[in-house]
């Protein structure tokens, strides 16, 4: 797995993460969208295949992303109280789950 940079905001038990690079889709450059993950006491919530469960937001604007997540998944999620954006790099061979657990250990 290649080393990637992510912009991260945390409001425990939620983490918002976005890849800092834009991507190409059907020939158009598009910014990456924010994705929300939810922590538990023991780690992060996984889907039935063992991957980190994603709550997609369909926008690159953080405030709109939080309002979408509130509308679709978590109505009690507050838009305030998130940390400032911080950038993380993956370590060579590190999976997405390992990165999320490393970020969680910094904030707890």
pLDDT in tens, 31-82: 678 888 999 888 888 888 988 888 888 888 888 888 988 899 888 888 889 9
Mean pLDDT over residues 83-96, rounded? 88
The pLDDT of residue 23: 64
Name the nearest CA neighbour of 104 among 93, 92, 88, 91: 88
C-beta contacts of 88-92 below 8 A and 24+ residues apart? 88/5, 88/6, 88/8, 89/3, 89/4, 89/5, 89/6, 90/1, 90/3, 90/4, 90/6, 91/3, 92/1, 92/3
Evaluate whether 32 touches 20 at the Cβ level (below 8 Å). yes
Beta carbons of 14 and 77 less than 8 angstroms apart: yes
Domain that holds residue 103: 5-107
pLDDT higher than threshold 80 for residue 95: yes
Q: In the chain, how many domains are there?
A: 1
Burial class (CB in 10 A: 0-12, 13-18, 19+), 8: buried
């Amino acid at each position: 797995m290649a080393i990637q940079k992510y912009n991260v905001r945390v409001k425990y038990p939620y983490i918002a993460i976005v890849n800092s690079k834009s991507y190409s889709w059907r020939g158009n450059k598009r910014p990456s969208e924010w994705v929300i993950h939810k922590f538990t006491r023991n780690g992060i919530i996984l889907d039935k295949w063992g991957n980190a469960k994603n709550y997609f937001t369909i926008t690159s604007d953080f405030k709109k992303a939080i309002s979408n997540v509130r509308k679709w998944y978590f109505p009690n999620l507050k838009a305030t109280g998130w940390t400032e954006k911080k950038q993380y790099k993956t370590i060579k061979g590190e999976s997405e789950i390992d990165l999320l657990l490393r970020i969680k250990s910094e904030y707890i």
